[in-house]
Amino acid sequence: MCADTTFQACPLQEALPLDGMWMMLEPATTPAGAADLMCASPRARKVLLDEVTPHRTFSDLVAPSSASISRQLLLDAIRGEGRTYRQPVEYAHPHGTVICMTSARRLDMRGAGPPALLVEIEEEEQGEWLHWEALRSMTVLADHSLWVYDEEADRFSWLDGERLYNGMGPGDRMPLAELFDRVHAEDVARVRDAFWALRRGETQQVDVDFRMPDEQGRLHWLRTLARLVRFGFDGGRRVVGTTTNTTAAVERHQTLVKAHADAQRRVDLVQQLAAAFVGAATEDELTAAILNRVAPAFGGTGTLLAFVEEGRLRVTFGDGIDPALARSLHGLPLDAPKPLTEAIRTGRPLFIATRDDYRRSWPQAHSLLDATSASSFIMIPLRGQGAAPLGGWVVTFDRPHDLSPQERTLVGVMADVAGQAWERIRLQSARTELAATVQRNLLPATLPTVTGYEVEARYSPAHQGLDVGGDWYDVIALPDGSTACIIGDVQGHNVQAAALMGQIRTAMHAYAWQEPAPDRVLARTNDLMLQMRLPVFATCLYVLLTPEGEALTARAGHVPLVHAAQDGARVRECPGGLPLGVLARSEFPVHAMELAPGDVLALVTDGLVEGPRLPVDDGLADVCAATDRHREGPLGKLADVLMAQDDSLTGHVDDRAVLVVRRQDGQRG
C-alpha cells in the first residue's frame, strides 16, 4: 500500500502517465467491487484527495448516486484480463457533484504483487464533452431527448433524441428566451419558475410538465427532468435535462379520468334515483322522481311516463315533452305496434339513436315522429316481479344520441328499480323491500383487483320489518397504486339510513380518489355531513394500503380493526376521532403499521361484535381468535366464519359487514 507515497514510488511508474488524473487501486476481497487506494497522480490528489491522504477506498470519492455503477466498473475491470471498461461516474466534491467519464483496467504487477486496477478520469477539453455517446444512447433508448444549457453562453443545445415540435431537434441551439417563446403561453411562467429555482440552487432537480404547439398549432404535452452540474473539475455549470413526449400518456390519463367521472356520474344517478324510488310512498312521488330526474341524468330533454291500466296507457309528462306526443300515446292499447308498447310488453328497453333509425325500424308508426321534433328516444319499461305489464317511460333527446354500453346497462337497472317501486307501492311494502335493494345495490358489485393483496367482503341486512340499516364497505383502487379499504355504519335502521349510507359512501369514494390520506377523507366527509345538516351520524374505519405493505389507518367512532400476524392476532386499539357528522373541525389521527406477507386485517361493523349480551371487547376477542385460526386458509372462508355469528350471541338483530384483507407473499394468486 502506498496511499501516502509520492507519485515516483508507485509500482509500474514507467507505465503510467506523468499528467492527467489517475489512481491505482488494490481490489478487496469483500465486499464485491471494493478497492483500496494505492497511489494517485498529482492532479487526482489535488482535486480529489487531501494534502495528507489517509488510507481510503475508491468508493469514498464517488457520489452516492454512482456507488452501484462504480462498483460494477471495478468488478468488470478486475475480471477483464486487461480490457478497458468505461462508465460516466459522479464524484463527490466540495463545490458539488462532478460528472466525468471514467475508465478502469486490470494491471498485472509482474511479480511485484497481486493484480491492481488502473482508474483514469477523463476531463472536459476545450469546451467540448468527451465520450457523450454512451450517455446519449442510454437516454435515447429510454425515449428521452437529451439537452444541455450553458449558463455563461446562454445557449440551449439539443444533443440527441427525438425531434420535438417547432423544429427543435439534435444539433439545434438557441437562447433560453427563444425556447420559452415556444412553450404554451399558459405554461411559460411555471416552466420559467422551475428553471430559475434550479439555477438559484433552491432545488436539486426539476420535474415539470408543459405544452408546446407544433407547426399546425396542435398542442403536445412534454415532460422535462433537469439538474444543475459541472462537467470536469474546472468546467462551468450546465443545466442538463431530458424531455419526453408524454401526450399519449396524458391523453390516456384524461380518458381514465373521464371514464372515472362517467362512472361516478352513473353511481350518483343510481344512488339518487334509487333513493328517490325508495322514498316514494305514492304514485305521485314515483312519477315526480321519474319525470324530474331521469332525463337530465342521461342528457335528455324530456321524460314521458305511462302506466298500464285495463290494457291501455295512461300518460303523464314533464317539461321538454311535446303535448302532441303525449296525446298520441295516451289511451294507446298495449298491443299497438309502437316502440313504447313493445318495450312494456317485452320488458326490454329500446334505444333509437336517430329519426332515420326510427323510420327504418317502425315504418308503420310514423305518427310518433309527426308529434315531436325530438331526434332520439329511449323506451324504458317498468319491470316488476309479476307477469302483468306495469308501464314504461320515454326519454327524448334534441339531437341524435347513442347510449354507451354502460348507460344501456344503467337503463335496465332503472327499469328494474322503478318497476319494483311501483309494484310495491301498490302492495304497501315498497319502503321495506326497496330499502334493502338500494342497500345492496349501493355496495360494490365486485371488488377491484388489488396489487399485492387479497380482499374479501361480506354484508348481511337485518331484515326485520323496517329494520334496515346503513352498514357499508368499499374498496377503491386509486391512481397512485394504493388502495383505500373503508367500512362504516350510518346511525339508524330505516329507509333514510339506507339512502344516506349511499350518499356518504359516494362522497368518501370521490374524496379518496382526489386526496386519499385517511385523515383528510374523514375530515372532508365530516364537513360535508354537517354542511348538509344530515339528521344522522356515521362511524367509519378507513385503511389506506400501499403496494409496499404499509397501512395507514384512521377511525371515526368505529370499532377498531384486528391485525393477525405470524405471532398471533390482536386488536389495534389506536386513538380515533368522533363519529362523522357530530362536531365541526374534528380531527382523526392517522396511525401507520407495516404488513408482512401473510398478515391479515379484519374490519367489521358493530352489529357483529357488540350487543346487549356481548361487550365489544369480548366480540373483538372472538374476531381475533377466528382470524388467527384462519389466517393462512382461504380468505373467503375467514369472511364467512366471521359473518356466521348467531344473533343470539349479541342479543339483537342488526345488519353487519366484514372486510378482510391479506397481504400476498408472492406465492398466492
Residue 558 DSSP label: P
Q: Region 584-606: what's the mean pLDDT? A: 95
Diameter of the chain measured on Cα atoms: 115
**Buried-exposed string 129-153: b where 16+ CB fall within 10 A, e elsewhere:** beebeebbeebbeeebbbbbbbeee
Picking from 492, 497, 502, 487, the residue whose alpha carbon sits closest to that of residue 541 is 487
Model confidence over 556-583: pLDDT tens digits? 999 999 999 999 999 998 899 999 999 9
In whole angstroms, give the CA distance from residue 294 to residue 317.
12
What is the full DSSP assignment across 52-73? SPPS-BGGGGB-GGGHHHHHHH
Q: Report the C-alpha dihedral over residues 488, 494, 500, 504, rounded to 10 degrees.
A: 0
Q: Are 117 and 141 members of one domain?
A: no
**Buried-exposed string 478-500: b where 16+ CB fall within 10 A, e elsewhere:** beeebbbbbbbbbbbbbbbbbbb
Q: What is the per-residue pLDDT for 494?
A: 61
Q: Is residue 3 part of a domain?
A: no
Model confidence over 307-363: pLDDT tens digits? 888 889 999 888 888 888 888 889 989 988 889 999 999 989 999 999 999 888 888
Instruction: Examine the fold and report which residue of 433, 464, 482 is the final residue of a domain before the chain moves on.
Output: 433
Q: Is residue 13 part of a domain?
A: no
Q: Is residue 149 part of a domain?
A: yes
In whole angstroms, give the CA distance from residue 599 to residue 659.
14
When divided into structural domains, the chain yields a total of 4
Which range of residues forms the domain containing residue 651? 444-663
In whole angstroms, give the CA distance from residue 273 to residue 377.
20
**Identity of the amino acid at 308:** V
Q: Are 411 and 520 members of one domain?
A: no
Which span out of 206-220, 238-252, 559-573 was modeled with the highest average pLDDT?
Answer: 559-573
Percent of the chain with pLDDT over 90: 25
Model confidence over 267-304: pLDDT tens digits? 677 677 777 777 777 778 888 888 887 777 777 888 89
Q: How many CA atoms lie within 13 A of 615 on its CB side?
A: 3
Residue 449 DSSP label: P
Q: Region 177-182: what's the mean pLDDT? A: 86
3-state SS string for 346-398: HCCCEEECCHHHHHHHCCCCCHHHHCCCCCEEEEEEECCCCCCCCEEEEEEEC
Confidence of residue 477 (pLDDT cuts 50, 70, 90): very high
CATH number at residue 216: 3.30.450.20
Q: Are 90 and 143 members of one domain?
A: no
What is the full DSSP assignment across 596-631? -TT-EEEEE-HHHH-BTTB-HHHHHHHHHHHHHHTT
Q: Are 73 and 139 members of one domain?
A: no
First to last CA, the chain: 56
Does 475 have pLDDT greater than 90? yes
Q: Are 245 and 356 members of one domain?
A: no
Q: Are 428 and 448 members of one domain?
A: no
Q: Are 379 and 425 members of one domain?
A: yes
Q: Is residue 167 part of a domain?
A: yes
Q: Average pLDDT of the chain?
A: 81
Q: Are 511 and 658 members of one domain?
A: yes
Q: Are 244 and 357 members of one domain?
A: no
Collect all residues with Cβ–Cβ distance below 8 Å to 483 and sequence separation of at least 6: 448, 450, 451, 453, 475, 476, 477, 544, 545
Q: What is the per-residue pLDDT for 424?
A: 72
Query: What residues does 395 pair with on adjacent strands?
Result: 303, 378
Q: Is residue 305 part of a domain?
A: yes
What is the full DSSP assignment across 69-126? HHHHHHHHHHHTTT--EEEEEEE--TTS-EEEEEEEEEE--TTSSS-EEEEEEE--BT
Q: Are 219 and 112 members of one domain?
A: no
Q: How many CA atoms lie within 13 A of 301 on its CB side?
A: 15
Provide φ and ψ at 200, rounded to 5°. Answer: -80, 0
Which of 4-8, 349-353, 465-469, 648-652 is predicted with the least confidence, judged by mean pLDDT? 4-8
CATH number at residue 457: 3.60.40.10
Which span out of 128-142, 235-249, 453-467, 472-486 was modeled with the highest average pLDDT?
Answer: 472-486
